[in-house]
Chains A and B, each alone.
Chain A
Amino acid sequence: MTFMLALPLALVVRGAIAAHLRDSLMAVRAADGANWDWWQEFSAQATGLGTTFTPSVIGVATTFDSVSSVFDGRVPIAPLAWALALYLAGWLFVSGGIIDRYARQRPTRTYGFFAACGTFFFRFLRLGALVGVVYWGLFTYVHPWLFGQVYETLTRDLSVERTAFAWRVALYAAFGLLVLFVNVLTDYAKARIVIEDRRSAVGALAAAWRFIRHHPGRVVGLYGLNTLTFIALVGVWALIAPGTGGGVTLWIGFAMTQLFVVTRLLIKLQFLASETALFQAALAHASYTAAPEPLWPDSAAAEAIARTTM
């Protein structure tokens, strides 16, 4: 999905790069490696998406840049914001199917997957709208307050960069905790919507909060383990991320990059899977869980159960 959404915009950027390079010899250096001379010229005249073509597109800097953007509250330019919004909408759509699949712990096949996606999409949209308001409040009011007023007050008389950085890290942690809390709450709200067939987003959020409140250690521990997996992935990627070579290495690099993207996605799925499993292990039981009806052809066991309950 990221590929499909990013591709058209990448074509626009490609067009802008090609239009600036024209048939120049600068393109030769840009094809074989990095041509910083040309890059700066391109940046000087770039507009729109072209302004986002910075050194941060190289290697692991992509991740540093995106995470830093979130924590520093940078607002993406309009075309990127639209792409991100579409991706978030798409992600909300498939989330229902994904969690449903994890909750069942067996293949649901295409029909079952997309049926679940459709079933939960509008519930997730309502949930997304609620959570979006919370995020909007965090980034519009809390972030500027923390990193403007609070940070300036804390560091106003500081003459030691290290201490200022420590304060900033502390504020990142404080803000990050708020964001992660909303994130965890959202994840468990989604799980409860799917597993318990809830329709109310507010009710799901309240139920998620009750679950987190009653199992704080396990929730935090699981989240921490998953986060460590992500950090480990970024660490490995920093070591092996492809450079700026052309020719065959271009395609090898591209393949590696897509593998990294897929792995990042898998880690997000790991978050959802493990959180769903934790919820089911801790709270869900036969009489409590509104399990979806088994559908033919499902497993022989399901068929047998269906016969006995008729």
Chain B
Amino acid sequence: MSLRILLAVAVMSALVTANQSGPEPQTPPSTERPAPRLETAPPALQVTPLVATQTPAPPQAALPPGALSPRNANYSIEVRLDPEAKTLRGRERIQWRNISAQPTSELQFHLYWNAWRDAESTWMRERRLAGTTRRPQADAWSAIDLSTIRVRGESGTWHDLSAHTRFIAPDDGNPRDRTVLSVPLREPATPGASLDIEIAWTSKIPRPFARTGYVGDYFFIAQWFPKLGVLEDRDWNTHQFHSATEFFSDFGVYDVAITLPRRFIVGASGRQLSRTDNSDATTTHRFRGEDIHDFAWVASPDFIVITRRFEHPRLPPVTIRLLLLPEHASQADRYFGAVEATLSRYGEWFGPYPYEQITIVDPAFQSESDGMEYPTFVTGRASWLAPGDVQRPENTTAHEVGHQWWYGMVATNEFEHAWMDEGFNTYATARVIDESFRPNHVEVRYFGGFAPWAFKDLPVSRIDNDRLEGYRLNAETDAAWIPTFTYWPGTARFISYNKTALWMHTLEKQVGWPTMQRIMSTYFERWKFKHPKPADFFDVVREVTGRGYVWYFDEVYRSSNTFDYGIQDFTSVRQDSPSEGAGLTGFTYRTTVVMRRYGEATFPVDVVTRFENGDTVKESWDGQDRRVVYTYERPEKAVSVQVDPERRLLLDVDYTNNSRTLAPRTGEASLKWALKWMAWLQDAMLTYAFFS
């Protein structure tokens, strides 16, 4: 076992350094010292997105007329679902344009469903590293097999390349991984050149893996078709399917015809153009999505379809199509409430949702398709028993709808920089939930997870929705700057989601929400329908704030150090020898505060000491040294001291040690909670003894 772990660590380490098509070289950590907080008052709130023009806009490929994106990877797909055999049979025609600066002599395709072909794919190996050792059942596996692939280049001649394909493993060299297919071209595709590609394939649909598969009559079909990688200026960026990362692809137009038995109700990316009944008791549903970079669909005979119109005085209208399962029929308003709040808030804060429609899927039990985003098509999360004051369903739906901005439109490479969409979106979702959905309480589910109980005494805060709890235990597992697919599989999410949300919220507290909103809206406006990299976001921060915040990103992005400031010692002792600070009493108190930086990471913090007469003294500590001592000679005895009292540094992994009081109520608190715990144990004893 230990050998396996050592090997895994070695493989992961090698991945970091040997990634063939990895990210751009990273700049070394800066040595810039922390800057003081912004002295100037933040500008007034802008409710419409701002487009900063201080730095040049990024290179922009010529957009087709009426297009929002380059539309360089356009798919026309015909697919037929056989629900009994659990198979797909499909044909696709891809019109692809080389928008990179380099010619290419090959094409690279993702064949994601081969990740679940056997236990030796990279996805499955990483899942085992993450601790999932249970082997899928025999009928759970999937596969995608190409029968033909033809390419027509500038010469106009079709070339059948089916016999020349080969699987490659650019990330880890795993010869058993078949999730990336390389297809050599007869004629290199020069920059600007267009290719027509025709592919026929068949697929075996898995039982649910990674939000894909079937359970009963419910089919959630994602990452299902042969899909081109992204040709960048350096090379193809086509990563293998990894267990802890998601996807990356170019924008285009998807025209998809789905044929399946008539009883099924279908939802998909884009909007439905037609529904044609065929003579063989099947129906063909045709969907079209423009300026999107992926296409997923769902089919079930049980859906209730509810449609509402989102209207907002300053944002374009959006049709919300909800595919709801009967057992959650009473929760329709909760879904719509979350979608509308997100469309509204994100639209006001970052920029409008530009598509005509968004489809929300209420996922089936055991489908594992809950909480996932695809362009204009997301899945929520509902439970049959869902207390109204526990906003978990709203949180999930808002998060996935929010991905339309951070992933859908600002299309970052989720293989390499997952934090740029997951983290940004977690941060923004927490803001939406905090503003729009209260009360929100902690929930514990009993009896196999079916029976919820909401704790009215435990409100969920915005920091909880930033996911501080998960980060606290995993703060040092990885530095965010390394490619996400090389994060340790079991803890990747804590860095991508939790840490990023926390440092974004911390940055918001540092610069103020109006400035933060300008950062995000500027970044969105500039990078929507493009593929930004981390430096592009940092550039926007520098541009909007006038500061680089390099020191900050060194800590939160380029290192895995933890933040932990605390009070090491706090005394306030009467000095009977009168000194300069003595008042009428003739004596003073010498108050000594010893501040300590327990973590490796640094951040400027305030230290506030409170005295018996209500006076407070605030010190601004740059947080650099390991410790600092403050001494006060005053006629009043000190009462308490607190570092970072306004809780600006949300990444502090131990906030309990941030304060100290000379009139502690620790005894009272510990007694109260110990008595409650004792009653819990007494209850348990009675329950167990009942059966004796």
Contacts and interface: CB of A to CB of B under 8 A. Distances in A.
Residue from B300, B457, B570, B654 having most chain A Cβ neighbours under 10 A: B457
A63 B687 CA distance: 8
Interface stretch (A66-74, A97-105, A285-293): A66-74
Contacts of B367: 159
A20 to B, nearest CB: 6
Contacts of A172: 447
A38 B472 CA distance: 12
Residue from A10, A37, A65, A186 having most chain B Cβ neighbours under 10 A: A10
Interface string B434-465: 00000000101011101101011111110110
B684 A157 contact: no
A66 B689 contact: no
B458 A36 contact: yes
A37 B681 contact: no
B4 interface: no
Contacts of A162: 327, 384
A3 interface: yes
Interface string B201-234: 0000000000000011110000000000000000
B360 interface: no
A222 interface: no
A193 interface: no
Nearest to B442: A55
B366 A158 contact: yes
Interface in B444-497: 444, 446-448, 450-451, 453, 455-461, 463-464, 468-469, 472-473
Given A37-B461, A164-B366, A28 B665 contact: yes
Given A2-B685, A62-B680, A92-B692, A14 B674 contact: yes
Contacts of B655: 26, 37-38, 41
A160 B365 contact: yes
Interface residues of A, number: 93
Contact of B673 (A57, A72, A135, A268): A57
B499 to A, nearest CB: 15
Interface in A36-77: 36-42, 44, 52-58, 61-72, 76
B692 A3 contact: no
A38 B673 CA distance: 12
A23 B365 contact: no
Contact of B675 (A5, A10, A268): A10
Given A162-B384, A168-B450, A246-B668, A10 B681 contact: yes
A213 interface: no
A244 B448 contact: no
Contacts of A54: 444
18 contacts: A5-B685, A9-B678, A10-B681, A20-B656, A24-B664, A26-B655, A28-B661, A31-B668, A33-B457, A84-B685, A87-B685, A147-B448, A159-B367, A161-B327, A162-B384, A244-B457, A254-B675, A260-B679
Given A34-B458, A38-B655, 19 more contacts: A2-B682, A7-B678, A14-B673, A14-B674, A15-B670, A17-B673, A22-B656, A22-B666, A27-B666, A30-B669, A36-B458, A39-B458, A62-B684, A64-B446, A71-B447, A159-B217, A161-B365, A162-B327, A179-B691
The 8 A-B residue pairs whose C-beta atoms are closest, nearest first, are A14-B674, A159-B364, A10-B678, A68-B446, A25-B659, A30-B669, A66-B687, A161-B365
